[in-house]
Each structure stands twice: as C-alpha cells, then as structure tokens.
A and B are shown apart, each in its own frame.
Chain A
Amino acid sequence: MSIVNLVFGGIVGAVLWPFRGLSPWFGLTVVSLLTALLMLEVYKHTSNQAAIRRAKDLIKAHLLEMRLYKDNMRVTLAAQGAILKANLAYMAANLKPLAVMIVPLVLILAQLSLWYDRAPLRPGEEALVKAGLEAAADPVSLGLELETPPGLEITAPAVRIPDLHQVVWRVKALAPGTGRIVLRTGDRTVEKSVVVGGGPMAKVSALASRGSLWKQVLYPGEAPLPAGTSVRSVEILYPAKSLTAFGVSVHWLVAYLILSIVFGFAFKGVFKVEI
C-alpha cells in the first residue's frame, strides 16, 4: 500500500506543484479537470457503450410515449414500467466502470485530502495531539511522553483518559516550519510529522496510524506507525481548511466533485463517450 500511496502522492503532488503559491482553487480546478478526463477514458473502455446508448434511447422513447399517450392509462403504466426496466439496465451497465473507477478515485481523494482538508498551524495557534492506544494499554501507567520539535511547545499537561485509551496534549505553534513530534514510552518511540505555517497549498497529514489497510488508504500522508508499541495512532487536530467562493464557504470535496462532473460532461463529446 505504501508504494501505491507513494505513486499517487507523487502524481497529485506533481500536478499541484505549479500552483503552490496560488489560491487553492487553481490546483483543485486542474485536478478536477484531469480527473474528469481520466474517468472519461476509463469509462469509455470499461463500460458497454452500446448498452448504455440503448438504455438511454429506450428511456427517451418511453418518455415520449408517455407524453403522447398521456390520456391512456394502460400505455402510460406500461411506459413507466419500461422506463424502470431501462433504468435498471442503465445502472447495470454502469456497475463495471464504477467498480473500476472507484479505486483510483478513492486514492485521488485521499491524496487531495492531504492538500485541502486541513490547514497547517499558524504561529501562535494551539492544537491537540491525540495518541490512541491499544485496548490493553493503560494510559496512566504507560508513561507516554511527548517530545516536540523546535517551533512547537507543549502548553498543558497530558490528559490521560483510560476510558478512551487516549492521551491528549495541547501544543502551541511558535514558528513556521516542518518537523516531527516524538512519542516516547520507555525506549520505544513513534513519530509523526507536524507542519506550522506555509502557503495556502501546504500539505498537511493529520493522522499517522497502523492497523487496517483501509486506514492506510484513507490517511496516505505518512508511513504506518511501527508495531511493538502501545500507540495505535497519533493525530494532530489541525484546523479545517476552508475554500470560499464569492464569500460562501465550500467544502473542498463538494467543489471537487462538482468541478469533475462539469468537466466530465463538457468533454464527453470530445472523447466520444456516452454517459
């Protein structure tokens, strides 16, 4: 999984690299465009274009039938049934391309979340560092300690919560830069990256964890935590990044999906794809 994350991270990073100093909208628009083109190509080659065209034609024909024979209940009901059947056929024809597309799409989304979901800490800003522990670990007797890099300081004692298998620290960003926080228990350590400052397109990884493959897919920003310690995850509660358009706050995921769909429909003719 690490290799896959590395490849996709490299690709997304390379695409966004020219837009680092600009508004996040520029990079998101380009990624949405490339995603739309990629998905059109995937869709074209994995879908049964003839079946899709046929299903759509049938739907249109039966809609016309309903309009023409709207006074005839029997014909109308039959047309509705046929539309339903054609719809099911249309959806069935989409299953295969969707199943293929979902894999790269999830990987792209996971990579994009590193760039768009969280904002780096600003100097002077405080955040929580949360260590999630194994169920068998007792946070009180574990003696887990947090070490911070220069540019970050701990501003409150650890809060150890046995019920939640959790230890929480509050840290304050002092100066811009990147570094690694270290959680030490005895002679074992785990590390996690931390980002303070940076431009509007700073890459931020909120969580480092070990465990399921799914977590590695969803949080691709860092290598999995090493086994052999009681620490399952380390999370920094970075502030949410906000995108605004004409004064209205928009979630990046919504913006990305809308832009991708718009580009997809805009270019489907060019690629001669029946959607």
Chain B
Amino acid sequence: MSDTKRTALSRREFLKAGVAASAAIGLGGAARFTPRVYGQARATKKMIVLGLDGMDPVLTRRWIDEGRLPAFRKILEAGGDFRPLGTSLPPQTPVAWSNFITGMDPGGHGIFDFFNRDPKTYVPVFSATETSGAAKTIRIGKTVIPLSGGQIRNLRKGQAFWQLLEEAGIPSTVFKMPSNYPPVASKQRTLAGMNTPDLKGSYGIFSYYTNEATTITQEAGGGGRVHDVFVVGNRVAAELPGPANSFRAGAPEATIPFQVFIDPSNAAAKIVIQGHEFVLKEREWSNWQHVHFNLIPTQSVHGICLFYLKEVRPKFKLYVSPIHMDPARPALPISTPESYSRELEKRFGPFFTKGLPADTSALDNGVLDEEEFLTLDAMVYEESMAMLEYELGRLDEGLLFFYFSNADQRQHMFWRLVDPGHPAYDAKLAARFGDVIARTYVEMDRALDLALKKADKDTVVLVLSDHGFNSFRRGFNLNTWLLREGYHRLKRPWKQEESAYFDNTDWSKTRAYGMGLNSLFINERGREGEGLVAPGADKDNLVREIARKLEAATDPLTGEHPVLRAFIAKDTYRGKNLEMAPDIVLGFNRGYRISWQSPLGGFPKEVVEDNAQKWSGDHMSAPDVLPGIAFTNRKFTAESPFLYDLTASVLDVFGAEKPKDMIGRNVLE
C-alpha cells in the first residue's frame, strides 16, 4: 500500500479492516497468523523436488535431443545438470523411495522387497506396513465390541528427511511420497502415496458387474472381482462390496446395494446408490461418488469411487473403481496433519487417495481397454497437475516434494507396444498407442515446466526418478529353478504346477526358497519355522553356490542369462537392520523379471517362460542396468550419484544436519 493510500485510510476504513481481521481469526483465518516454522531456524531457501516415478534416462535423453521435452532441455541450457541416478537394490518402487526418504539402503531402512515373509510360517506379508486388529474384544450376540484400537504401522526404519528438516525448522510439503503409509509422525504437510490402501484394506480391488462370462486373475493384495448380474426388465440390482465389518462376528464384508435402470433403447442408464442418483451414457465415467458403509449404528466408514458404464447392450458391463478413502473423512490416517487431506478435499473436491490410482489390473484383465485405462490415468495426472500448481503457488519457503506415478504405471502397461520383440506385441494396438510412453514423458515435462516457472534464481529444483525401465519379455520361475537344482523339495511332485504359497513344499528337505520379486531365502535353522541349513559356514557356502549357479543359468530360448547378478545381501547392504533381509537378491538381465507365479510360492512347469501379459515393462533388473534420472538447475559434483545421495543433498541445501546412519553424501554444488 502506498504512503498516500495509507494516509488516506479513514477511521471508518480502519475500523472495517479491524473487524475483518477479527472475523478472519474467528472464522478460521487464525492459521494464517501462526508461525509456519517449527524449530529455531527459518528457511531462507526454497527447493522443489519432483519425483517422476520410473522415468528412464535413455528415453529422457532421446526425447530431449528430439526436442520433445522442452522443460528438461531448458534446465540443461540454463546451466543445470543431468546424471543417470543410481537406484536401489532391488530397483523396486518401495525400496527405492525408502532409499531416498532415509538416505540409507535397505540395510538401514529395512524395506527389501514388495513382499517379505513370516519366517516362522513362510506366509507372505507386505514389507512396508503391518496392520493389526483390536487386541481385545468382547462379543454380545453377533456384535463384536473392540476394547482397544487396531494398529497400522509403517515398517520403514530411520528418519524421513522431512522429519530432519522439521527438526531444523524447515517447513516442508511432501505430496504422495511412496512408502509413506501410514505417514510418519510429523508436523509437516504430508500426504501418503503408494501403499495407501483402498477402503477394503487392499492395494485396490475394482468391481466389475456384467452378464458376460468373465474371469480375472487375482493378484496379491489387489486386483478385482467380477459380479455376475442379471438384467431383468432393464434393471440391474447389485451390491458394492466394502470393508470387512469387524464389528460383526466373522467379520462379514459390508456391502451397499445399488440399482441400475437402463433405458430400453438409448445407450444410457440411471444409477441409484444410497439415495443418490446419476445418469451415465455408455462409455462414460461418473464423477466421484460418495459412499458410506454402516458397520454398526454408530460406526460407518466413508469412501469415494468412480463408475464407468462400459456397455449397456448387448451385454451389460459396469466397472466400479476401487473404493478410495474419502479424504474429507479418511477411515485411516493418510496425511499429516490430519487436516491436510481435508484441506485439499475442500479445495479440489474428492481426489484419488489410494496409493497407485491407475488400475493396471483392470487393463491386464481386459475389464478396461487401453483407451479406458488411459482416460482414468489422465484423471490422475490432471488432478496431480492442479494440486502441484496449488502447492507451488503457496511455496514461500522450505521444501516441496511432489510425486507423479503416471510414467511408471503407463510404462508397465504399454512397453509391449514399443517392443516388437515382446510376446504381447500387437501391431494394431502399437499403431494407436505406441506413443503413449513418449506422450507421458511430455506430460512429465509439463510438470517440470510448471515448477520452473515458479522457481526463482534462489530456488533449487531437483527432478528424480527411482529407476529406469525395460521390457519384461520373459519371466524367470525362481522356485522352479530351485526345484530343478535340488534346493527345494515338494511333498507331491506330481502336483507341482498346482502348488501355491508353498502349500506343497517339504520343508524338512528344502534348503532355499524364493519369496517376493527379487528375494531368495535360505531355509535357515533357528530362523525359519522348519529351518534345515545350519547358520554360519554351511549357509554361507550354500548362498555362494546358489548365487554362482543363478548367474550361470541360461534361458534355453535365447541363450541369455536371466539373472545378471545374484547379490549376496550381507556383503552388499550397509546398515544394522538386516534381520528380515533376503540372503540373495536377484538382479535380472534386460528383458527378464521374476515370473508371475514364483513370488508367492508357485512352481510353474518351465524355468523361463514368455510374459504374454499387458503388464509388459518392468524394473527388477540389476541396479546398474536401470538407473533413474537426476536433473537439477545446479551442478552435480558426482558422476554417478545415488538415490540416497540426493537425500543428503536436500538436507545440505537447507543446512540441516545429516544423521550418522545416513550413507548418502551431498552431490549438489
């Protein structure tokens, strides 16, 4: 305000301003006057970190050179820098982002794979989170009353970098960081990312209502469910499945009935659910629909979902997305502070809260086709862009980390259409969707452009991906290989191909088993429930023998080595949290990955088999094969920085102290 205007402020205007300020405080505006730092120091710098999951350095370089990624080129032309970024071992998303979150490797943070196992029972468990119900309950009739709350634990060890920044008084916003569910305790604004479950507690289960015979492949922790329905008098009655109702004996699934009224000749229908009505045309997506599942009269959980009317006739086909937690009323913690998700909901309306919102399973199973999958993922992208713009707009100081999942998810599903050598390559589809990956990189470039526009000369911009990508042409059946080599024994060998979850394993004669996507465990005495191999020299010799043989194994079809390197965990990892570590970590060769059935204890017939699925790109190779990307508007001081180095670099930008157990080092000039 100019001096003249300030002088001209009348007494009446002064009083009005005072009243307005008072009203602002009374009506919730008080937060604006709250100090925005939490420690002693105040941030004097700004840093924007974009986490672009799965962006590959080779593809990025190629498309920069072709002029398709102008923002990336701009950052280099303005004196910035680019390096392939050393990824984690194994280069799986939860492992890699945990490296970045903590500045440690899996030996420090304890996340070694998507899956781990309960060594006593050999039952697979999620490695990143642990959920337990109420410890004590009482039962009255069919009602179960919990006497204590359940628990969800984030199993990652070590401090997250935003917690360290908080201690140093640097405000941060961390948006959808993978492997941060439930979000670790912090006063910083954080929204949970990958691993955040849907309302059923899974990684995402869609519902598909149809009168066409349909089967879908179930996935560990997610997937979908087909509901056979009948169209009677142009009306369909169905139920939407929700969470298990732990307030009822036997924890039956809570459901919501809904009805679909189809027009007799128009390709449209009215859907009525919980008193709410909406109309969809054929091949049209709904807006977010609010649903609530009543568990007992005083308890209900709230969710949001999308409906897609795929077809009304001749067959009826209705897809309902996994039910996301309602960010306005989340059943489980998804943000810190808890009000952050509510704040975003108030501004943007309902939004995707499940960890990875793209429904790869629906595409894999043919429930959604390529175009429909991309439409859904475009919603995810546009929503992320709007929220990025919002967060950039209020970034006055400190750190903003913002995550995009689109490049990772689309490369998983569309790599087959850029690789003519892939078993699932389809020339017709390739002509239509062969440029999806390139277009996705262009979209990531738009996100960077947005960030660069916000960045002033003092703002450090860092762009990273957790790993690169390559084709997944052939699947390696680790457990079948162990069986053939005599390291694993079955009780009924003639039922080998029917085995799952090691239900056919003779543990008394088994020396090794594969569990998870890159992990091999020795059946160690004292550690495993029915351990056989003595710890110490026996085990060490066995580990070396298996590792050597794995690296020597060849694919009879191609003559290539499916396993490029078999890493011996205790010689590879640093840190003290190795108790749940696998004994060998498989680093696959280009074009190879673990098969679909082996990770959960299956034994298909062949050791190596074609991957004919739409999930056709992957990143479980040896880390050297698949680095991620690191771009900055500064200079890197290291030729080959690693993910954990960027953590130390973030801390160094703000002058925050690096913990002793952090193995990363600053690599920014």
Contact = CB atoms under 8 A, between A and B. Distances in A.
Interface of A: 126, 128, 130, 140, 156-164, 168-170, 237, 246-247
B27 to A, nearest CB: 7
Contact of A128 (B279, B284, B287): B279
B277 A128 contact: yes
A246 B27 contact: yes
A128 B28 CA distance: 34
A187 to B, nearest CB: 24
Nearest to A164: B261
6 contacts: A159-B261, A160-B266, A162-B234, A169-B279, A246-B26, A247-B28
Contact of B263 (A160, A164, A237, A246): A160
A156 B277 contact: no
A140 B264 contact: yes
A163 B261 contact: yes
- For the complex of A and B, the 10 pairs showing the least CB-CB separation, nearest first, are A157-B266, A170-B279, A159-B263, A161-B261, A159-B270, A157-B268, A156-B279, A156-B281, A168-B270, A159-B268
B261 to A, nearest CB: 5
Interface of B: 26-28, 233-235, 261-270, 277-281, 284, 287
Given A161-B270, A246-B28, 17 more contacts: A126-B287, A128-B270, A156-B268, A156-B281, A156-B284, A157-B263, A158-B268, A159-B263, A159-B266, A160-B266, A161-B234, A162-B264, A163-B261, A164-B261, A170-B279, A246-B26, A247-B28
Contacts of B279: 128, 156, 159, 168-170
Main SS at interface, chain A:
strand
A159 B26 CA distance: 48
A120 to B, nearest CB: 18
A63 B664 CA distance: 77
A168 B235 CA distance: 15
B261 A237 contact: no
Contacts of B265: 140
Contacts, number: 54
Contacts of B267: 157
Contacts of A246: 26-28
A247 B264 CA distance: 45
Contact of B278 (A128, A157, A161, A169): A128
A83 to B, nearest CB: 33
Nearest to B342: A247
A59 B145 CA distance: 42
B263 A158 contact: yes
A127 to B, nearest CB: 10
A77 B262 CA distance: 65
Nearest to A171: B279
Contacts of A159: 261-263, 266, 268-270, 279
Q: Which of A156, A157, A164, A168 has the most CB of B within 10 A?
A: A156
B230 to A, nearest CB: 15
B277 A168 contact: yes
Residue of B234, B267, B270, B280 with most partner-chain A CB within 10 A = B270
Nearest to A169: B279
Contacts of A169: 279
B116 to A, nearest CB: 42
Contacts of A247: 28
A238 to B, nearest CB: 13
B261 A156 contact: no
Contacts of B268: 156-159
